Amino acid sequence: MKSHIAVLPSSGMGHIFPLFQLAKKLVLHHDVHVSFLVITTEASAAQNQFLQSSAAVLPDLTIINLPPADVSNFITGDMRLATQLSIITRESLKPLNHILMELNPMSLVIDIFTTDAIDVCKELSIPVYSFFTASTVLLPFSLYLPMLDRKVEGEFVDLPALVEIPGCRSMRTEDLLDQVKDRKNDDYKWFLLHVSRLPNTSGIFLNAWEDLDPVRLKALNENPFFKNIPTPSIYPVGPLVKETETLTEKDAQIISWLNTQPRESVLYVSLGSGGTLSSKQIIELAHGLEMSQQRFILVARKPTDHEYLRCVFSVGKDRENDPSAYFPDGFLDRTRGVGLVVPTWPRRWRCSATRRRERFYRTLWVEFDAESLVHGVPMIALPLYAEQRMNATMLVEEVGVAVKVAAEIGEEVVGREEIERAVRVVMEGEQGKVIRRRAGELKESAERALEDGGSSYRSLCSFLDDLRIQGM
């Protein structure tokens, strides 16, 4: 009989995608049956489209939609994202006990916002594993946060010195993730609750591989602080990335345009699945791209002048998105033929194009992007929210595969000159050559980690061995 594992992501494509890729890998390469539990409350159109697509149809992978919950009495318009996700999850998981009793899986894999499932699984004697979808930078900080919470009075951002994480590189207070910058806000309280539960799991998956961040992985496994928490087993199983899917007619047109461009000449500008720019920032971005005189593909989303992450729940609903309404006058006409503006959430053509490194560079990065790393694509980091400042610092200063853009002191918007500078650095300068070479080395490292016998393959096998031992 096949091993049966249940997987429970929170809402949002940044959580759905990596956990689904883990589920696919377990099904296709390790002969496991997976029940993929989906929170349908406030689900985005993009989430629904993906889970109903042919890519989600696999033998031995069963998608189970949790009944939608009424959250109207709990959600308010001024709530931040982590609070909304946590409340939606709390209400959606009320029938989880009954569902798991029927499924009877060997284990449940959760993510950072579905930790409410831990208590349910404890009652049912089901081991829980967490997939930490953020980068390796955030995990040691998260495990250290309960200690930091006890030690520090006042706000972390007001600390006079760097934040010292045992066994890891010190962290600048300005790089701290948004959820911990205001300890009085419910976002901080929810985040602290979720990360304080991580030691109660049987293991933690990381969408990383050993060569990407060996120092932090060593600290998590060997440093006395983390051993004494105690930190669960760490399984670096990445990079788990989206795979090529059948292209639509529009997707094929984009690929056709790429195929007409010179070798190594195209910038790819995308805000990922959850972010948006302000009205002022999108104008500066457009001017910066135009001034750089580089070829580009720009995935355009309507700007918003409130919380960057509002579109987490609305991604995929861009049917009325008219770029001419918010880009500078004449921008689309002046860049026609040089640039291609795609007024939609990025579809699967992105992956096909990224695989063809001779055609495609990713240029503006906002989410920790294993996909760009695994395909050897250098990045320009424009951190907007959550832990992206941490990620940008790591990729620029430690890994060496990115250039960071930043607003001038006292300004909230990154200016067009800064954007032009960063684009030219990556595409034209000597520093860009070094970054591209390092990106290529990391690509080869990622491929070795994923292949049969590689470090990530062995790590996933180790998880399955540990799980079967627990089940004996």
Both tokens of 392, joined, read 């940008």
Determine contact, residues 372/348, Cβ cutoff 8 Å.
no
Both tokens of 248, joined, read 């639509």
Q: For residue 251, indicate whether it is catalytic.
A: no
Determine contact, residues 153/49, Cβ cutoff 8 Å.
no
Given 33, 111, 194, 369, the catalytic residue:
111
What is the signed CA dihedral for 467, 468, 470, 471, rounded to 10 degrees?
Answer: 120
Name 204's bridge partners. Answer: 130, 234
b (16+ CB within 10 A) / e for 19-46: bbbbbbbbbeebebbbbbbbbbbbbbeb
Tell me how far apart the alpha carbons of residues 349 and 333 are, in angstroms, rounded to a whole number. 24
Could you tell me which of 132, 130, 42, 36 has the C-alpha nearest to residue 88?
42
Rg (CA), the chain: 22
Q: For residue 15, indicate whether it is catalytic.
A: yes
Determine contact, residues 135/208, Cβ cutoff 8 Å.
yes
Tell me how far apart the alpha carbons of residues 372 and 361 are, in angstroms, rounded to a whole number. 9
| Helix, strand, or coil (residue 309) | helix
Strand order of the sheet with strand 61-66? 61-66, 32-39, 3-8, 107-110, 128-132, 203-206, 233-236
Tell me how far apart the alpha carbons of residues 306 and 275 are, in angstroms, rounded to a whole number. 11
Could you tell me which of 342, 349, 344 has the C-alpha nearest to residue 247?
349
Q: Is the peptide bond before 230 cis (omega within 30 degrees of 0)?
A: yes
Residue 184 is given by DSSP the state T
Both tokens of 97, joined, read 């006990």
Tell me how far apart the alpha carbons of residues 420 and 405 are, in angstroms, rounded to a whole number. 10
Query: How far is Cα of residue 388 from the mean position of the Cα atoms in its chain?
Result: 9
Given 15, 33, 194, 375, the catalytic residue:
15
Could you tell me which of 324, 323, 270, 268 has the C-alpha nearest to residue 296?
268
Catalytic residue positions?
15, 111
